[in-house]
Structure 1
């Protein structure tokens, strides 16, 4: 009973919904179908949207009616557990719907219109891409395992394959390419798999067949997306993102400092190992079948977000993730990342991220599922870690600008651009110079194109 009372206090979610009564049966059926298709769930009837216990009249008749209408209205057949419970001296109905391989749909609406999934606390029509994923979950064939019959092996960069595997000290040959799923057979023809193309395809064929299998990064001024000051798109495959994204983050975030035993130790604003782990998980678990969505890394003044397209796999919840349960969406990509030692034990990523943050005194990140995406948010250590000096709050690029100006009388904007070790947009450099000037570390002389910059340190 205590568990039920606690459940009633919770907000509606992917796996929980309340209905006041049985006056409208269609929304109830849609919810049951959505629960069955997505991750299971509990539907409680006799509870208002304000969590007030209303109760159900003629509960025995209501229970029988529900059982009959569920059996008559949903295909394939589903047998939810229907219970009668008493709360605050009022009788309610609790329907526990298991997740099972469907797709389930309303007979009256047919398929595809009658297929529903759970998005947050709402039940929505699944749409073509989601229905295809539901069907794949029945066959145990992941999207990235599918072959592309119209392509030949010329679509793959075998030099890159050898280079990547040699760097990891792993052997690779034609047989291994088959066993890892980089290539597969379609009608007795050996062709690239979708996963093989995502990881090792030539630029021409990746852009044509998997154009959204890429990572985009942006640095925003402030705490929203109103003003973008730096952006970067990883060239190459998603494997290149493992090296390139941390570089973008480093030049767009601050460094703090700890002083121990009279020595300074630079502290990055965000936990580097944890970010790498979350980035790799995003690359492995993204839903590459969703068109128009890329993996995104967004840096704000107070947080860093890593977001991948694709809700959690069907039958999987955030609680499962935190408990260490593993559910693989992309079997080829996951297998290759594991082979290259980019991933460790299945299901250990969440714990490793949390342990890293705790051990290094960073705020714990937050995981959330919204719509058809999963986002992990890291919070700046500025929330709970004091920075010892203004200089300790500078990004790596801002510190490099100061070093350049200390070695000369003054420099023009163009000269600074040419001297920096990595390319930077004009907008981002103006932002950096303005920040350094605001903190009293730089001054500017002249106006317009004749402006030069001097160090105050």
Structure 2
């Protein structure tokens, strides 16, 4: 599609960013090529010649020599880069050059130097970033998990965990029955052998026994802690476990079930209080699975950490985000490129993860269904941190009175609407009441905890039943 002056104006209005740089003229072509190199090493983007850094579209006179000099500069990209160049008339005799590049699967350098884009600035790529990009280039054929586990044999693995994985995979139709329960054949069927019959490191991650990871694999580690207050100054609980990823995930789940605060409610017609964790376990299981599947096992001192504070829960996975993914992108529809595809596939066959690329979306949906905000994601000091804010505990009674933010008019208004139409959705309730969807989720959660409202059937196709009108 041809770029128009209106499109140029729209890009300029957004300002310089991680994908856009403005140059007054091609006299700045050297610096512009550094930026094109950085954009190719990032998410792709464009440079506009004929626009001042302040955003004023001034254009420039473009002649054949202008394009020839630019093409000569392009020859200094390694590997070769072929930017798209468009001429857009903005005034009589004046044009803007829109030069675009796509993301490159290989690390690109300009005049022997690799560059990266950080916000709206181009800089020389750091050694860490350069090494990470090289790892990503080699990822399809050579990575930590698909290397042989030196000195390891199938006899050192947990045979029960292997059989459990096979049986569950068969039950879900995700693997053919090999007709034998010999560990080596199970591993072969799971795609966890390399160089013939040698165990891969992924096989050790998934099936080593609790006693065997040390000293070869100290990173097969789970750390769990309960802190007093909102800082790490004082421990109430602090434990560490070694073992395979499946076993460690079970221990993490057990720690959360035992340690998370609960919300209580009195159910009408029953002389007992029902307690449930303050955070939905479906969301927490998905977050834990993501941590074990996507962490960087190449870091010898790495681990998965579960840290519970008075106001939040943090699940920490050592490693970085790869392939251009950002924390913001993870909470939107995105393509999945697991850093450990062999480990991820075993989790999929086991039924712990269902669809690659949707884990974070499932977490956000589970939190929304519980009337809670989705967790935040950030990369912090070489680790991916998922933070769940703990809601204030509420205790609902048959009178319908609740404590917390949802006390007030919104729950009553929601209840009145659902009394008249039990099929209303959260967006419809929000639109009718002029409230945000998170506010409606909190109101629904308050009504459910107080025993005044219940959901009948699934999220899609079900309906609301008012218990205390």
TM exceeding 0.5: yes
CA contact (8 A) 1:117 1:126 kept: no
- 1:263-274 correspondence to structure 2 within 5 Å: 263=270, 264-274=273-283
Q: Distance in 2 between matches of 1:258 and 1:214?
A: 37
CA deviation map 1:330-371 (0-9, x unaligned)? 121011111211111233323322222222212222334467
| Aligned match of 1:53 | 55
Gaps of 5+ in 1: 394-457
- Find the counterpart in structure 2 of residue 216 from structure 1: 223
Give the Cα–Cα distance (whole angstroms) in 1 for the partners of residues 297 and 338 of structure 2.
Answer: 13
Out of 61, 67, 77, which is 2:80 matched to? 77
CA drift at 1:102: 1.0
| Per-residue deviation, 1:140 | 4.5
Shift of 1:76: 0.8
| Map 1:50-129 → 2, pairs under 5 A | 52-55=54-57, 58=60, 60=62, 64=67, 67-68=70-71, 71-83=74-86, 95-109=99-113, 114=114, 116=115, 124-127=125-128, 129=131
Distance 1:247 1:320, change over 3 A: closer
Tell me, in whole angstroms, the C-alpha distance in 2 between the residues paired with 1:237 and 1:75. 42
Contact 2:59 2:90 (C-alpha < 8 Å) held by counterparts: no
Name the counterpart of 1:338.
348
Counterpart residue number, 2:245: 238
Q: For the residues of structure 1 that align with 2:260 and 2:380, how far apart are their CA atoms?
A: 26
Q: Does 1:157 align with 2:165?
A: no
- Cα-Cα RMSD: 4.1
Match of 1:199 among 202, 206, 213: 206
Normalising by the residue count of structure 2, what TM-score does the alignment of the two structures yield? Answer: 0.65
Which of 256, 259, 264 in structure 2 is aligned with 1:257? Answer: 264
The separation in 2 between residues aligned to 1:31 and 1:213, in whole angstroms, is 40
Q: Secondary structure at the match of 2:373?
A: coil
Matched, 1:329 2:339: yes
Distance in 2 (CA, whole Å) between partners of 1:281 and 1:104 is 30
Q: What secondary structure, in the 3-state scheme, does the structure 2 residue paired with 1:168 have?
A: helix
Output the CA distance in 1 between the equivalents of 2:12 and 2:199: 48
* 1:206 aligned counterpart, secondary structure: coil
Q: Distance in 2 between matches of 1:281 and 1:243?
A: 14
Structure with larger RCO (C-alpha < 8 A, sep 6+): 1
Count of residues paired in the alignment: 374
For 1:220 and 1:84, the matched residues in 2 are separated by 60
| Counterpart contact for 2:157–2:207, Cα < 8 Å | yes
Residue matched to 2:168? 168
Seen in structure 2, the aligned counterparts of structure 1 residues 321 and 47 have a Cα distance that, compared at 3 Å, is farther
What SS is found at the alignment partner of 2:367?
helix
Secondary structure at 1:298 match in 2: strand
Query: 1:277-316 alignment to 2 at 5 Å?
Result: 277-316=286-325
Task: For 2:78 and 2:233, locate their aligned partners in 1 and report how far apart those are by CA, in whole Å.
Answer: 46
CA distance in 2, matches of 1:217, 1:191: 33
Q: Is the 8 A contact 2:107 2:134 kept in 1?
A: no
Shift of 1:258: 3.1
Q: Name the TM-score, length of structure 1 as normaliser.
A: 0.67
Deviates more, 1:326-335 or 1:123-132: 123-132
Summarize deviations over 1:290-342 as a string: whole Å, max 9, x none. 45443232323222222323333315454376215322221210111112111
